[in-house]
Structure 1
Amino acid sequence: MALPWALAVLSLLPLLSAQSPECANFTAKPITNVTLDWLSGKWFYVAAVFRHPVVNQAARSVHSTFLYFAPNQTEDKIYVRKYQTLGDRCIYNSTHLLVQRQNGTMVRKENDTEFHAHLLLSKNPRTFMLSFFPEDKQKMGISIFSDKPQMSEEQLNEFHEVMECMGMHKSEIIPTDEKKDQCGPLEKQHEEERKKEQEGAKEG
């Protein structure tokens, strides 16, 4: 993969050490079928903070990213299609995440390594956040996803609150820029191909 898993997608664990009553609101909850249904569909990666040097450098090369999640409740998996713009190129790939329901995490396996992300459900139903290495001040990270490329002031404020609970500062935020997206044509091509496949299946 061109980028660390942290940029690709999710994982959920008990996310933040509840050092204050406010921070206790930002811990990962068990994942249910309702959660998986809600996650289904298209999401935009809007911004992140990554302390891990390699991940931070990689994140700065990303202009925009959007993802399609297709959860399978029986298998406890989320199938993911990722469209990412690096420079003037669109990079597409697909993968799947293993859902750990009880501790609210999603895991991606690459070779013999597991990459964990912690899912934080937002007060706003159009937003969720992912936390990485929450116990490690040198590697920790958090990213926010929305159903639209731009977020409201309310959504941003909540992101800032979670960052502060983790001991991060607004100056560390790495934003994306949907205006630089190069993946629109490929997304359209894929959607047309899917429609033809579905029509063919119906005819068959």
Structure 2
Amino acid sequence: MLATLTLLLGLPLALASEPPTCAPLVPITFDNTTIPRLLGEWFYIAGATKHPPHLPELRTVKFSAFSLFPGSHEDELNATEIMRRNETCVMKNSSKLQVLHENSTLVHVDENQVVSMARVIQSHEDLLILNHINIDSPSLSLSARTHNVSKEHMEEFKAHLHCLGLTEEDVVYTSMKDACPPPAEKTGEGDADPQVE
């Protein structure tokens, strides 16, 4: 009887330590309030994937910042981006994102070719969590209005990772120490202008 009582008393503690159940990722609904919320400058913080072809590329991105602004059509956003891939800064001036209202998806088109597709996941207005959907493996990325993300916001991202079956080992982070200076802010003789694509 003592063993049964010990087991019953210990059961609530064991149940309390179980991880929370995963809620499905909920994409935002694109409308007149959510589209303007996407506009402006973003810093790419981290990305995670189990898709083998994307892992080497993901690991080369040391820093990335991008700006979104209205395109020439209602369902289009233009993007500019500056990133450091390994030791090279690259500036992209002409990316386009198509906004698909019917399934809450952003489609990144570069030179008339689909590069990626992602759903914007509901989260804090200063976060941009993208669930990349045009690959066979789970893939998630986090961007934010500043490169300093609060512990609570990072925990939200990590909870989504966990629910997709991704682990901390699958995450690649960027760093402000690897930021690319804008062309007008070269800091010394060894700095090269960013390559423009």
Same fold (TM over 0.5): yes
TM-score normalised over the length of structure 2: 0.75
Indicate the percent of aligned positions where both proteins have the same amino acid.
22
Question: Matches of 1:181 and 1:111 in 2, distance apart?
Answer: 26
**Conservation of the 8 A alpha-carbon contact between 1:134 and 1:166:** no
The question of 1:88 aligning with 2:75 is answered no
Q: Which residues in structure 2 correspond to 1:44-63 (within 5 Å)?
A: 44-63=43-62
Which structure has the highest helix share of the two?
Answer: 1
How far residue 187 of structure 1 moved from its aligned partner, in angstroms, is 7.3
How far residue 133 of structure 1 moved from its aligned partner, in angstroms, is 2.8
Deviations 1:169-192 (A, max 9, x none): 12211111111112x223769xxx
Matched length: 165
Moved over 2 A (4+): 71-75, 108-115, 133-136, 184-189
Question: Matches of 2:87 and 2:59 in 1, distance apart?
Answer: 14
Q: Which residues in structure 2 correspond to 1:165-204 (within 5 Å)?
A: 165-182=163-180, 184-186=181-183
Give unpaired runs (5+ residues) of structure 2: 1-19, 187-197
How far residue 92 of structure 1 moved from its aligned partner, in angstroms, is 0.6
Deviations 1:60-87 (A, max 9, x none): 0111000000034952111000111122
Cα distance change on mapping 1:89 and 1:110 into 2, 3 Å: closer
Give unpaired runs (5+ residues) of structure 1: 1-19, 190-204
Q: Which range moved further: 62-71 or 163-172?
A: 163-172
The question of 1:116 aligning with 2:117 is answered yes
How far residue 153 of structure 1 moved from its aligned partner, in angstroms, is 0.3
**Conservation of the 8 A alpha-carbon contact between 2:95 and 2:110:** no
Specify the SS of the correspondent of 1:54.
Answer: coil
Q: CA RMSD in A?
A: 2.4
